[in-house]
Structure 1
């Protein structure tokens, strides 16, 4: 499926191919919530990095999140969260460890997306008290990361494009 996306001010526009376009995975970690959320969670999709086309590249900035362990140690994430330098909209995540993949944020996608038959709620351990996850009957819950990848979820439900 061809996905078209943009930032809020439309200075940055992008498109890419995605075999896994269903916005089913809700991440409650503080990085996703604070850099690309507002409603208590964020949704990342998956796409083919080689197909990514971008207009307005010079207006893109990258953020590499600080990872804080339970013991207080800090490290810098290898993943780059791309955002618009003008309006601050989150656009996608890229990690050189998986060079074939790019993870556009569902909130930046302008193309109508398929409705998921179930959701996966992950990183619930990090959800703040004010967040009340709306967990459906068929939804999956994980305190941390599930073993099932975005591609595996799409295959299991026959929703791969």
Structure 2
């Protein structure tokens, strides 16, 4: 599925092909919560890095979070004008980027269930709105984005 996205101010627009477009993974870690906001969690999708096209790349800044005092491999791309979180790239998986669902302008499909992850980092003010069938994890699940989509027969 072709995902089209942008920042809030319109300085950055991007497109990427996604075989894993269902926004099912809600991450409650402090990094996602503080850099992407949105209800105390962020939702990342799976995109093919080689298909990424960007207009306005001069308006993009990159943030490397610190985890236990160490600089993370993950590059969090955001608009340097309005601060919108756009996507995450990690050199450990060079074939992928992970667009934030909040930056996608294309209509995204509704997932049949959601995975709530990093609940051990959830802020106390965030209410968990889980539905029957949703999965919960204090840290990361073993199942990847691709495996979740395959299990549900939803890979594009």
TM-score relative to the length of structure 1 = 0.96
TM-score normalised by L of structure 2: 0.99
1:37 and 1:154 map into 2 onto residues whose CA distance is 25
Matched, 1:84 2:84: no
Match of 2:102 among 103, 107, 126: 107
Unmatched runs of 5 consecutive residues or more in structure 1? 69-73
**Per-residue deviation, 1:82:** 0.2
Task: Count residues with an aligned counterpart.
Answer: 156
C-alpha distance after superposition, 1:121-147 (max 9, x if no partner)? 000000011111111110000000000
* CA distance in structure 2 between the partners assigned to 1:158 and 1:78 by the alignment: 31
Q: Distance in 2 between matches of 1:150 and 1:6?
A: 22
CA distance in 2, matches of 1:38, 1:3: 20
Matched, 1:94 2:93: no
How much is the aligned-residue C-alpha RMSD, in angstroms? Answer: 0.6
**Aligned residue number for residue 144 of structure 2:** 149
What is the rounded CA distance, in whole Å, between the counterparts of 1:4 and 1:137 in structure 2?
31
Q: 2:15 corresponds to which residue? A: 15
Distance in structure 2 (CA, Å) of the matches to 1:146 and 1:122: 7
Runs of at least 4 residues of structure 1 off by over 4 A?
A: none
SS at match of 1:135: coil
Aligned counterparts, 1:119-130, within 5 A: 119-130=114-125
How far apart, CA to CA, are the structure 2 residues paired with 1:124 and 1:132? 11
